[in-house]
């Protein structure tokens, strides 16, 4: 079931969310259980990037973004000094293929991520996937947190098809 919603509409307490899409013309945030996918358009202001990342951090500090980078061995410590957590690395023909987790509990790491997104937007749109433990109430809290951003609105709400309304006596 796909439903277009107004800003003032609340999600159904009797249905379980499949996905919740919110944003504005230059940014789109899709929340599901386990993942938040954010599309940043090239025109999104830096302040909005920061508001989204900090807003997510305020709802779920255990959220992380996984970043894969090929870099020189010496650059690994540069990423770590920005608060990134090294998960794995392996030598490749172009340097070291590394995987970092960017923890949303670290303001320093979020600042570095926001700067990286801002630099990348000079060339192309950016998609950032984040992993979290959010549920329906966390998704609504995130929407409320981000609704202070100018032009922010609900774009789509998808409910799980197999969940039926429960009626209690």
Q: What is the pLDDT of residues 106-153, one digit of tens each?
A: 999 999 999 999 999 999 999 999 999 999 999 999 999 999 999 999
pTM as predicted: 0.87
Nearest alpha carbon to residue 26 among 55, 1, 11, 46: 46
**3-state percent helix, strand, coil for the chain, nearest multiple of 5:** 25, 35, 35
Q: Mapping DSSP to helix (H, G, I), strand (E, B) and coil, where does residue 163 land? A: coil
Q: What is the pLDDT of residues 32-91, one digit of tens each?
A: 999 999 999 999 999 999 999 999 999 999 999 999 999 999 999 999 999 999 999 999
């Amino acid at each position: 079931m796909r439903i277009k919603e107004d800003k003032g509409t609340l999600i159904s307490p009797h249905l379980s969310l499949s996905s919740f899409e919110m944003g504005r013309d230059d940014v789109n945030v899709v929340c599901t259980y386990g993942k938040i996918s954010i599309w940043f358009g090239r025109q999104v202001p830096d302040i909005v990037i920061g508001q989204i990342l900090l807003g997510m951090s305020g709802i779920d500090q255990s959220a992380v973004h996984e970043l894969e980078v090929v870099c020189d061995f010496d650059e690994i410590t540069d990423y770590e000094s920005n608060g990134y957590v090294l998960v794995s690395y392996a030598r490749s023909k172009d340097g070291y293929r590394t995987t970092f987790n960017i923890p949303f509990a670290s303001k320093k790491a979020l600042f570095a991520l926001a700067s990286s997104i801002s630099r990348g937007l000079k060339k192309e749109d950016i998609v950032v996937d984040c992993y979290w433990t959010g549920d329906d109430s966390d998704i609504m809290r995130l929407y409320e947190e981000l609704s202070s951003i100018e032009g922010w609105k609900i774009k789509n709400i998808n409910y799980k098809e197999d969940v039926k309304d429960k009626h209690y006596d």
